[in-house]
Amino acid sequence: MDPLLAVENLKVHFPIKKGVLSKTVGYVYAVDGVSFVLQRGQTLGIVGESGCGKTTAGLGILKLVPVTSGTIRYDGKDVTDADGRRLRALRREMQIIFQDPYSSLNPRMTVNQIINDPMQVHGVFAGSERQDRIAYLLERVGLSPEQGRRYPHEFSGGQRQRIGIARALALNPSIIIGDEPVSALDVSIQAQIINLLIELQKDFHLSYIIIAHDLAVVEYICDHVAVMYLGRIVERAAHGPIYTAPKHPYTQALLSAVPVPDPKTKRDRIILKGDVPSPINPPAGCRFHPRCPYRMEICDKKEPQLQDLGGGHEVSCFLYG
Amino acid sequence: MAESDHLLDLQHLKTYFYTFEGVARAVDDVSFFLDPGEVLGIVGESGCGKSVTAQSIMRLIPQPPGKIVEGRILFDGRDLVRLSMGEMRGIRGNRIAMIFQEPMTSLNPVYTIGNQISEMFRLHMGLGRREGLNRAVEMLKKVQIPAPEKRVGEYPHQLSGGMRQRAMIAMALACDPEILIADEPTTALDVTVQAQILDLMLKLKEDFDTAIMMITHDLGVIAEIARRVVVMYAGRIVEEAETVPLFEDPKHPYTQGLLRSIPKLGRRGAGERTRLVEIKGIVPGLLDLPEGCRFSPRCPQVMGICRKKDPPLGRIGPGRTVRCWLYFDEPGKD
């Protein structure tokens, strides 16, 4: 069986325009050759720091930003150039929840209208069936149907995120992309939303792509994890090995940098030097080489490719092989 | 002259905000102390009053609508609450400095980094312009900014987020303050940069012998750098303890819930995940706080008394206090 979603060599480059004639003077290489597959019922996590391209990759899959090159296959069919009706059909299958529950809900619409909106746009579920579905969805995300008549500002951050989830579920999609779905929430609320997402995955047969910078959250939710750095995937594996035996020096540094809520674990922390370089001029060779503690001669000359170290644990680094 | 054995001693601080909807008791009877050279963590979620506490110490509460209605903030024999704004200016930035979450909004975009750091020397030490700039370069070097001679002439927008936070720290430590209040200093930063900044803060604490008050929602950050922790909830301290006992044996149901609700890195293993323990409900609004214990509507161990009477913050061991009826006897408790 084909994987539900297969992304191959996805590139999203944004032109930088300058001057009165808007001449293109360069590109932001936001996503620069990213490949992964999402299996049915599974959760893929994409982690990385700001500017690594994780959000743009998600938007590219949904075709909310123009894709420069690469292919996106949904259920075995190439949907990279889908437009018009095919794109609408595709969007019924793929929904997104956003980071900021404050700005992603229209303040002038009631919750009922917000959840109704996608069903109206796509012309699914009519009349009383639609009303029933709204009530059902509200209940499923932990709100009461009576709250549907209220406006977003009457809800707390966690409740708004629940509304966003109900909206994403309205069309009965097969994939939900969560772009930092819990990072704007208070600690005590995060667990509620994470538990909710996991419950819904089973009940609605969903596959998730979770984009996040919080490595602990991604470990908890995801089956597979891809680590991105400057527009590229540097390491990819099942959730276990990536946390217990990270291979790429960047993944190692990233994991060691996370403050652990246990004052007794004293770890050898790898402190990286400098900042993430700009995706406008990514470094030549391996993009991580200027900050890499193990850099070798070859690293600034050739770009490493992802290679399988066994068991589907892939890493893009010259230290291996 | 007010007496205190501690470097900073907050006693029954109450800071309220008077709004059209009612009185928001943002900080409601908060007491804690800070000793020289120690790192105290203040942890809590949004609206718990941790930032307002810091702003009260710095006397940066906008008035109106805010007001310190009660309590004392003792520092070096003086009560900061009673100082005039002029007297406070001699302390703020000079002896007690503060860094903020968002370095971009707390640096002035139209002045160079050097200008803003040297202002500290000019104002508080009466140095001249050139001397101030030289000292600014020295400070940038201490916070490990590469090419400080060049950076000193740059504007905030020319620096990355991590560099800006370093510049903020340089400015805060310029006058060698006794206390550094850090309000979510690494929240806006990426984790590899956060690690750099935390590392730097700990190193500078040793070099400058500064006491740090670290305000954060991130229990990981607390575990890494604090020696003692104050946990706040809805304007109140609910628990206070040294870091290791707090994480090993949290007493207050809120602290217990917080620690259980966060997924821990590298702990999932290969097997099935266990469901995260969540704290039900939502953080109450400061305008309609629940009766009795403010955590009672969300507490899994709630008892009859909790909904009626506010528990006291009581001592349950050396250096350990908790605000919870589970640990105290009260006639009428059931």
Concatenated DSSP letters for A19-78? TTTTEEEEEEEEEEEEEEEE-TT-EEEEE--TTSSHHHHHHHHTTSS---EEEEEETTEE
More confident residue, B275 or B84: B84
Average pLDDT over residues B152-174: 89
pLDDT at B334 over 50: no
> Which residues of chain A make contact with B277, given a CB cutoff of 8 A?
191
Question: A243–B162: do the CB atoms touch at under 8 Å?
Answer: no
Question: B190–A49: do the CB atoms touch at under 8 Å?
Answer: yes
**Residue of A42, A188, A229, A260 to mutate for B, most B C-beta atoms under 10 A:** A188
At B34, the pLDDT band (50, 70, 90 cuts) reads very high
More confident residue, B33 or B265: B33
> Which residues of chain B make contact with A243, given a CB cutoff of 8 A?
265-266, 268
Average pLDDT over residues B172-192: 89
What is the least distance, in Å, from the CA of B194 to any CA of chain A?
8
Residues of chain A with pLDDT under 50: none
Cβ within 8 Å of A, B 77-136: none
pTM above 0.90, yes or no: no
Reported residue count of chain A is 321
> Which residues of chain A make contact with B190, given a CB cutoff of 8 A?
49-50, 213, 276
Chain-wide mean pLDDT for chain B? 89
Nearest CA in chain A to B217: A187
Out of B218, B243, B270, closest to residue A240 by CB: B270
What is the least distance, in Å, from the CA of A250 to any CA of chain B?
10
The whole-number pLDDT of residue B333 equals 47
Q: Does A244 touch chain B (CB under 8 A)?
A: yes
A117-146: string of b/e by CB count within 10 Å (b at 16+)? ebbeeeeebeeeebeebbbebbebbbbebe
Instruction: Count A/B contacts: CB-CB distance under 8 Å.
Output: 133
At B270, the pLDDT band (50, 70, 90 cuts) reads low
More confident residue, B321 or B2: B321
Average pLDDT over residues B39-44: 95
Distances (CA, A) of B187 to A40, B197, B220: 35, 11, 12
Q: Cβ(A61)–Cβ(A30) under 8 Å?
A: no
pLDDT at B319 over 70: yes
